[in-house]
Structure 1
Amino acid sequence: MIGKHRGVLKLLQEKLSGGEIYGVGCACHLAHLAAKQGVKALSVGPQDFLVDVFYHFDKSTKQKEMLREDISFCNETIRKVLKHVSTRWLSMSRTLERVLHQNARRQTGGGGDLSGGRERRLVNIFKEPTYKLYVLFLHAIIPRFDTFNMLLQREDPMIHRLQPVMMKLYQELLGCLMKPSVIMEDKDDLLAIDATAEDLQKSNADLFIGFSTSQMIRKQDLEGSYEVGRFCAEMRGFYQKALVYMKQKFPLKDSVLKAVVVFDPENRVKSNFSMVETLLGKFPDVIPENRTDELFMEFTLYQTCTDLPTFSPQVDRIDKFWHQVSQLAKPATGQQQFRLLSQLAKYALLLPHSNAFYESIFSMVRKNTTEVRSSCYN
């Protein structure tokens, strides 16, 4: 939809006059694509394996019953076998976790009929220790993307936190691959670090592959083997591809996203008025030009004011906070103390931080409209 040549964004830019229209992409979708780019560096992908596990039980009453008996015998809670959907943002992590928490013998139906190709593939996978290394690694690293994704799927405005959380995800992946000294040297400009430079990367022993993965390598006595060497090389490829994609596609340098951080109460002391000026340039009709000095005084007072409403990012909504700020009155006159600043904040917080809400609507429509029920009248 945001195609450079024939997408909706291009159409709006051509048809609408006045103002400025620009696109930054959905951060949730971009994180999903960054993880997919990383997986492309792996010689063994878990997607087909997870799909095989689901369909091994999905169409077979016999396999379901054998699975139920095995789980009951082990005195464990019977859980549904999850289906991995590659287009669903948070699918892989939960599906991997469900598979890893069940015994390999139970997953293959207790050693039942192995005449089918799917059954033979599953048995071979569970018998191959190096394959499990890839599964354990993804189980350790994918939650980093999921945490980012879930934060930005909130319904309340999160535009003020978008740029910091994008940089945090980028820094986390850098920390998994690059030497700490390299990151500290360029801590003020992490994007200047060349993630593909092997001389700046950690050794195989220090590379983040997940605690369970490291434990398995030790227990299976695989340290120093050719398989582990190739595995570590592919892990580097995962990080490099994901980081390069994020650097190219994420709006990490977007001036508006950097400036809107000024309305985060936790950053008010570290902010400066140039950030407000950037937003004024993007929203020229919000604050009259002849009242810029008044806005500056409000911003200065906002940075040092001790009477602001309490704000907890885990509990409170940022739009409600700024509504409360707009109600603060000057002691002498009773007029609004932060009238202009709160007005600009409300406009800035209207910017969408992701397309999660609209994507959920599409999912609801697909559930309502099926092959059996082609319209809501049926």
Structure 2
Amino acid sequence: PTRKGKQKQSPKKEGEQNESPQNKSTNGSNDTEIQKMNPITVKLFDANHIHHRFLDKGITVGKHSATAGTDCCFQQYNIPWYNCVSFSLDNTFVNMDKHNSLMSRAKEKNKHICIRRYPCHIIHNTASKASAEFAQETGSDLDDFCIDVSYWFAKSMKRKARLEEYCQLCNQNYKTDIDHVSTRWLSLEMATYRILKLFVSLESYFSCETGSQTRFQHLKKAFLCSITEVYLMFFQLIFPLFTNLNKRLQREEPVIYLVYQEVQKFLKNTLGKFVTAEAIVQGGNLDKQLDDAHIFNGSITRAMLTKGPILCAEDYQTMRDEEIPNHVYKEATFVENVKADRQKKEFYCMDLIWGYLTTMKESALISLPRFPYLGKMAKLILRLPHSNANAEWVFGLVCQNKTAFCDSLSLEGTLSSLLTVKV
């Protein structure tokens, strides 16, 4: 790795970022040092693929915002702001769309820029708020409960051995408790499920064992409470509603075109589970709505309806199958959700499909692109981030490399170069 940030990018990659539209994502990974690290990732279209890459770290000091650090990084690599079609910020005010000064500063640089919020964080924060209200009403905090169970048995072979004995006594297979980390959104469901699987054994353990530690007393009280298992079953029932959408948003391939559909489905399922029939408000006056028998269809409408199946088929597929080679479809196909009856769901990576469509020519004699404007528009849409999963992975590497034992790494040189090599 090099020690100067300017030497990390090859001329080819730097040129791509100067010329092609892209999405930028940034996040403040630390707030305890003098210098604040703002890792910047780039999402761009390269070689018929959407790639997410680490660019550099925008260093800010004091009250300077993440936008200022990003602007300095852009100037360093000669990247114009008008090439930044969207800007993602992992910021509470951005996600809440409240007191959003970062958005206004980015708009000053490029008034057409699209400020992207992080739906994974929004869903997580909303669910956490609801869970906090539930904990306040019931006195049972699921996060604290799962963490206490994990910490009680962690790094204690003696306690694990005693739990295994209780599992054998209760005719259950011993399984290690799953650690729950509040910043890992999917771990709470797995931790809850594991506790429910071992609930009888855990209940026997804490009712028979003795201990004066505060954590032990809290767990003993919780497991002796008859309603605790009911609370866990309630959370186990509603978790898939949130985690399934979260998993879809964490796909590596670009699925921005599915976000609206998936969020609408999520909201519909949420209302179906949590909104009672009494809370549904009756619609407006229906007297002005004609019955089907009184609706008159004109001749043009009737003619269009008779041609409906033919027109629908034409709208659904405007190109022949053979116009796109089989190897393109094969490379772009990925399988998901293999069911018990061995049925499979197939999806296409649309960046590969549109990468090929933009290379198609008018004909063998005319070398002009067949879809010049449509291809550019599709690539712009695919550059928009559907979540922050890839960016969070890069942000996590920052914390792993700059630790309390390696706190002397230069932010502008060594650490940034290490991240460039790793990513």
TM-score, normalised by the number of residues in structure 2 = 0.54
How many angstroms apart in 1 are the aligned matches of 2:169 and 2:102?
A: 56
**Match of 1:12?**
106
Task: State whether residues 202 and 223 of structure 2, in contact with CA within 8 Å, keep that contact through their aligned partners in structure 1.
Answer: no
**Match of 1:318?**
350
Alignment of 1:253-268 (within 5 A): none
Task: State whether residues 108 and 119 of structure 1, in contact with CA within 8 Å, keep that contact through their aligned partners in structure 2.
Answer: no
Task: State whether residues 159 and 351 of structure 1, in contact with CA within 8 Å, keep that contact through their aligned partners in structure 2.
Answer: yes
Give percent identity, aligned residues only.
Answer: 29
Q: Name the CA shift for 1:108/1:56 in 2 (closer, same or farther; >3 Å).
A: farther
Given candidates 103, 114, 123, the residue that maps to 2:211 is: 114
Given candidates 187, 205, 222, the residue that maps to 1:125 is: 222
Task: State whether residues 249 and 386 of structure 2, in contact with CA within 8 Å, keep that contact through their aligned partners in structure 1.
Answer: yes
How many angstroms apart in 2 are the aligned matches of 1:75 and 1:130?
A: 23
**Match of 1:33?**
125
How many angstroms apart in 1 are the aligned matches of 2:334 and 2:266?
A: 18
The total of aligned residue pairs comes to 264
Equivalent AA in structure 1 for residue 381 of structure 2: A
SS at match of 1:175: helix
**Match of 2:43?**
none
How much has 1:375 moved relative to structure 2?
4.6
Unaligned runs of 5+ in 2: 1-90, 283-310, 336-346, 416-423
Given candidates 237, 242, 246, the residue that maps to 1:140 is: 237
How many angstroms apart in 1 are the aligned matches of 2:170 and 2:279?
A: 47
Residue 198 (str. 1) matches residue 279 (str. 2): yes
Given candidates 34, 41, 64, the residue that maps to 2:160 is: 64
How many angstroms apart in 2 are the aligned matches of 1:122 and 1:7?
A: 44
Alignment of 1:152-163 (within 5 A): 152-163=249-260
Alignment of 1:358-377 (within 5 A): 358-375=391-408
**Match of 1:304?**
318
Equivalent AA in structure 1 for residue 133 of structure 2: A
What does the per-residue CA deviation read over 1:185-238, in whole Å, with 9 as the maximum and x for residues that have no partner?
Answer: xxxxxxxxxxxx73559xxxxxxxxxxxxxxxxxxxxxxxxxxxxxxxxxxxxx
Unaligned runs of 5+ in 1: 183-196, 202-268, 271-299
Q: RMSD in angstroms over aligned alpha carbons?
A: 3.3
Equivalent AA in structure 1 for residue 251 of structure 2: R
| Structure richer in helix, relative to its length | 1
How much has 1:329 moved relative to structure 2?
4.4
**Match of 1:91?**
187
| Structure richer in strand, relative to its length | 2
How many angstroms apart in 1 are the aligned matches of 2:261 and 2:316?
A: 21
Greater mean alpha carbon deviation, residues 28-37 or residues 5-14: 5-14
How much has 1:140 moved relative to structure 2?
1.3
SS at match of 2:133: coil
How many angstroms apart in 1 are the aligned matches of 2:357 and 2:225?
A: 60
Task: State whether residues 196 and 229 of structure 2, in contact with CA within 8 Å, keep that contact through their aligned partners in structure 1.
Answer: no
Equivalent AA in structure 2 for residue 304 of structure 1: T
What does the per-residue CA deviation read over 1:310-361, in whole Å, with 9 as the maximum and x for residues that have no partner?
Answer: 5757443110011233344445755543332122101111111111112122
